[in-house]
Amino acid sequence: MANGNADRPPARRPGGRNARVRARILAATAELVARDGIVGFRYEEVAELAGVHKTSVYRNWPDREELVVDALLRYAEDLASVADTGDLHRDLADFLMGIAGGLETPFGRTLEQAVQPAHQSPPVRQALARILDQRVAAMRRRVDTAVDRGELPPVDSSFLGELISGPVHLIVNRGLRAFTRTDAERIVAVVLAGIRATAPLD
């Protein structure tokens, strides 16, 4: 008996080869933009670093800025999360360690490059805004939970995020020493103590 499925094309696996190719291209783009800036990288270099043919890059991203934006958004996912273990101090310290680690990766350097005014084309500005919005939203959720639990008085979550993350960028970008867990713990302790000490009395 003939197999009724014989003439059917094989089912496509989720993701598959094209997904792996796209992931390599995005990783290569992040690394090259970190090294050369948004205006300095070439599709040929992306293809060589990703180990794919140049046409694969053009086919997936005909527009250079779309490729940069996708690389920014793809590698921002881990930087936009704040865990909730029930221990606010620990969660914020972990968050700072994540930022420090991210800034030392090609993607983190890509973000630092993109923040420069000369590189802020409208699509890149929009991507950065989305990344920052995700981070602010994650911080707001964690801080609101802490307030509900009585761990913190009511506080502007965006302001808190700026207070604790600013020193991380300063230490990492100076490059004079590594950012350590001790740094993260001290920053969080000082900021949380200040917020609690300056909270208005009922």
Q: What is the set of domains in the chain, with CATH numbers?
A: 17-63 (1.10.10.60), 77-197 (1.10.357.10)
* pLDDT of amino acid 11: 42
d(CA 70, CA 49): 17
d(CA 151, CA 138): 17
Cα end-to-end distance, the chain, whole Å: 83
Nearest CA to 140 among 154, 129, 127, 130? 154
- pLDDT surpasses 90 at 16: no
Least confident of 15-19, 119-123, 183-187, 198-202: 119-123
- pLDDT surpasses 50 at 8: no
* pLDDT of amino acid 129: 73
* pLDDT of amino acid 6: 47
- pLDDT surpasses 80 at 126: no
Structural contact between residues 195 and 92, judged by C-beta atoms closer than 8 angstroms: no
